Structure 1
Amino acid sequence: MTRLVFLPHQTICPDGIVIEANPGESICEAALRNGLEIEHACEMSCACTTCHVYVREGFDALEEADELEEDYLDKAWGVEPDSRLSCQALVTDRDLVVEIPKYTINMVSEQH
């Protein structure tokens, strides 16, 4: 199992949380399976940017984003060099430190 350390987020995980993820599982899948209600308006089909995250540590352990993911990241709020769509970033055997941005481009939460 791989450890995913989620940094504190005001509404989703105010104290931060450490979860276990399976290699090959997306960051979003692991978060949802562990009760972290990360937004994912397109049901993890790489058709929006609501699951945008920053991979603060371990970014280089992830496979590179494909062209479709890069196109959507261009539309995300607050993109940084370590940005990924959590539905597309597949966990390897290396631990990650993840930060959920304060905002998404979604005006209303989908309440998944």
Structure 2
Amino acid sequence: MTKIVFLPHETLCPEGMVVDAAEGDNLLDIALEAGIEIEHACDKSCACTTCHVVIREGFDSLNESTDDEDDMLDKAWGLEVDSRLSCQCKLGREDLVVEIPKYTLNHAREEN
């Protein structure tokens, strides 16, 4: 099992959260199943940046980003070297520490 630590986020998970997941699981799906309502305006199709996260630990254990993801990330608010779109992240074997940025560039919010 992989442990995912979601750092505190003012509105999405004020206390932070730790969840277990399996290798190969999708990071966004794990967050949503745990009740962390990360925005995902494009229905997980790598067509927006609303599910942007920063991987503070364990970045190298994730699958490699695609050119499409890298192109979308260039448009994300608060882009950092270890930024990823959570909808495109497949978990590896290492534990992760994930920070959800305070803002997104979303104009309309989609519910699950």
Question: Normalising by structure 1, what TM-score?
Answer: 0.95
2:110 aligned residue: 110
- 1:31 is matched with 31
Distance in 2 between the 1:109 and 1:5 partners? 24
Opposite residue 103 of structure 1, the aligned amino acid is Y
- What's the counterpart of residue 101 of structure 1? 101
- Is 1:55 matched up with 2:55? yes
Distance of 2:51 and 2:79 partners within structure 1: 12
Once residues 4 and 18 of structure 2 are traced to their aligned partners in structure 1, the CA distance between those partners, rounded to angstroms, is 6
Task: Give the drift of 1:63.
Answer: 2.2
**Distance in 1 between the 2:44 and 2:21 partners?**
17
Larger CA deviation: 23-32 vs 9-18: 23-32
For 1:9 and 1:15, the matched residues in 2 are separated by 8
1:22–1:30 contact (8 Å) kept in structure 2 = no
Detail structure 1 runs of 4+ shifted over 2 Å in the superposition.
Answer: 107-112
Task: Output the CA distance in 2 between the equivalents of 1:93 and 1:45.
Answer: 24
Q: CA deviation at 1:33?
A: 1.4
Where does the alignment leave 5 or more consecutive residues of structure 2 unmatched?
none
Q: Give RMSD over aligned pairs.
A: 1.0
TM-score by length of 2: 0.95
Letter in 1 for 2:90: L
For 2:45, give the aligned amino acid.
S
* Aligned AA (1:109): R
Residue 95 (structure 1) shift: 0.4
1:44-96 deviation line (CA, Å, top 9, x unaligned): 11111100000000011112211000010011111000100000011111100
% of aligned pairs identical? 60
Maintained 8 Å contact 1:9/1:102: yes
